[in-house]
Chains A and B, each alone.
Chain A
Amino acid sequence: MNLFDQGLLDTPFGWSMSLLVGLAFGFWLERAGFGSSRKLASIFYLRDFAVVQVMFTAVATAALGLAALDVTGLFEVERVYRMETLLGPQIVGGLIFGAGFVAGGWCPGTALVGAASGKLDALAFLAASMLGSLVYAAFWPQLEPLQRVGDCGLVTLPGLFHVSAGVVAAVIVAVALVMFALIHRLELRTQRTATS
């Protein structure tokens, strides 16, 4: 049982639990250095790889954890709220999001941490992102038909490739490790050219 499937997420108890989870989320983002827009933007110039390292380690850890809980029968992933795939809006939204990420230097979660660290550019970013969501709502009559482009229902990678969640999690771990090895080779080379 969890708060979502019991319908208790939007109760004072659910809110306190969410606050605690958020506390840990903000802590780890800040520890990773994501309260800095320069560090975040550096990934797009291949100068600092923390964004990719942290993100893929987190995804691999959570995916492996879920697969392990599922195999042991302790918790089924079906009990978690899972968003349906809307390929059109997710791809177009992702492209616009990435453009805004590198120009603005933040994404919504890291901007909260940046604002808490005193970054005025994070405050500007947050204010404008609020306006951006209202712009979206204002154009809802025009945008609504586009929202259904590529509606595929619930699509999971295990379902798509007819393998278990454990296999997909293992592939994610393997891909992440190869990526991390490449990052370290690249970092070593940059260090060598910087010192020679």
Chain B
Amino acid sequence: MNAIGKQVLVRAEQPYWNPYVAGIGLGLTLLVSFVALGVGLGASGSTARLAASAAHALAPEAVESNGYLGSWFASGSPLASYLVFLSLGTLLGGLLSALFARRIHATVERGRGVTPRTRLLLALGGGLLVGFASRMAAGCTSGQALTGSALLLGGSWAFLVAMFAGGFLVAPLVRKEWLP
């Protein structure tokens, strides 16, 4: 391989964009979503629906008779929802951006205080809590903190404050996980 070819391969990833530029881009995306779709952004609804349809394949009767999940199956598949397509787009948009910026690497991201195994266990534990809490609050950082706050909804601002409070309270307990 010649020197130029090698240089292309090892070319470093691009820096992230300025947070205010990214914030304005995100805010305008949200505004377009309000005007064109009539709804804001969301993410946790689609993963819950994917989970429900996976559970349905294993135990259809139990899922259909469940008080929370049952209604999602009333009109066919829970995956036939705009929320699922919104998340497919999010995945694809993230992939394209990461590809252009040369930021795709198969890694377990962690601070230097933990092993990859511990980090994965904490990611599982955190995911469990977030999946549960997103159903309880009927939304996550996207649907509540971002969308609801921009719509000036009282409950979403309460969620936003509670979310940061929960994060700062638990942060000392997992300090090692994120040691720089």
Residues of chain A having any CB pair with chain B under 8 Å: 2-6, 9-10, 14-33, 35-39, 41-45, 47, 49-50, 53-63, 65-66, 69, 75, 77, 79-87, 89-122, 124-138, 140-141, 143-144, 147, 152, 154-158, 160, 165, 168-169, 180
Question: Given that A9-B82, A53-B23 are known contacts, is A38 also in contact with B130, CB under 8 Å in the complex?
Answer: no
Q: Which of A17, A50, A112 contacts B19 (CB 8 A)?
A: A50
Question: Given that A38-B178, A57-B23, A58-B23 are known contacts, is A95 also in contact with B165, CB under 8 Å in the complex?
Answer: yes
Sorted nearest first, the 4 A-B pairs with minimum C-beta distance are A104-B126, A22-B89, A132-B131, A57-B23
Which A residues are CB-close (under 8 A) to B88?
19, 22
Which B residues are CB-close (under 8 A) to A75?
34-35
Residues of chain B having any CB pair with chain A under 8 Å: 16-17, 19-41, 43-44, 47-48, 50-52, 54-55, 66-69, 80-83, 85-98, 101, 103-111, 119-120, 122-146, 148-171, 173-175, 177-178, 180
Among residues of B, the one whose C-beta sits closest to the C-beta of A86 is: B155
Decide: B68 and A120 in contact? CB cutoff 8 A.
Answer: no
Decide: B126 and A21 in contact? CB cutoff 8 A.
Answer: no
Which B residues are CB-close (under 8 A) to A31?
16-17, 21-22, 25, 97, 101
Q: Which of A14, A59, A79, A105 contacts B109 (CB 8 A)?
A: A105
Which B residues are CB-close (under 8 A) to A32?
16-17, 19, 22-23, 26
* A102 to B130 Cα, complex, angstroms: 10
Question: Given that A140-B68, A152-B154 are known contacts, is A30 also in contact with B125, CB under 8 Å in the complex?
Answer: no
- Pair count A-B, CB < 8 A: 526
Decide: A98 and B86 in contact? CB cutoff 8 A.
Answer: no
* A15 to B136 Cα, complex, angstroms: 26
Question: Given that A108-B140, A121-B119, A131-B51 are known contacts, is A3 also in contact with B178, CB under 8 Å in the complex?
Answer: no
Q: Which of A17, A57, A113, A121 contacts B94 (CB 8 A)?
A: A113
Which B residues are CB-close (under 8 A) to A83?
138-139, 143-144, 148, 153, 155-156
**23 A/B residue pairs, CB under 8 Å, sorted by A:** A2-B35, A2-B38, A30-B98, A50-B19, A57-B22, A58-B24, A65-B31, A94-B159, A96-B129, A100-B127, A102-B174, A104-B129, A109-B141, A109-B142, A111-B127, A112-B94, A116-B92, A120-B108, A126-B47, A131-B128, A132-B135, A140-B68, A157-B154
Decide: B93 and A25 in contact? CB cutoff 8 A.
Answer: yes
Decide: A157 and B152 in contact? CB cutoff 8 A.
Answer: yes
* A149 to B161 Cα, complex, angstroms: 18
Decide: A155 and B155 in contact? CB cutoff 8 A.
Answer: yes
Decide: B140 and A55 in contact? CB cutoff 8 A.
Answer: no
Q: Which of B81, B151, B155, B178 contacts A45 (CB 8 A)?
A: B178
Decide: B152 and A104 in contact? CB cutoff 8 A.
Answer: no
* A10 to B74 Cα, complex, angstroms: 14
**A16 → chain B closest CB, angstroms:** 8
**A104 → chain B closest CB, angstroms:** 2
Among residues of A, the one whose C-beta sits closest to the C-beta of B149 is: A59
Question: Given that A21-B32, A98-B170 are known contacts, is A80 also in contact with B151, CB under 8 Å in the complex?
Answer: yes
Decide: B131 and A136 in contact? CB cutoff 8 A.
Answer: yes
Among residues of B, the one whose C-beta sits closest to the C-beta of A151 is: B155
Among residues of A, the one whose C-beta sits closest to the C-beta of B69 is: A137
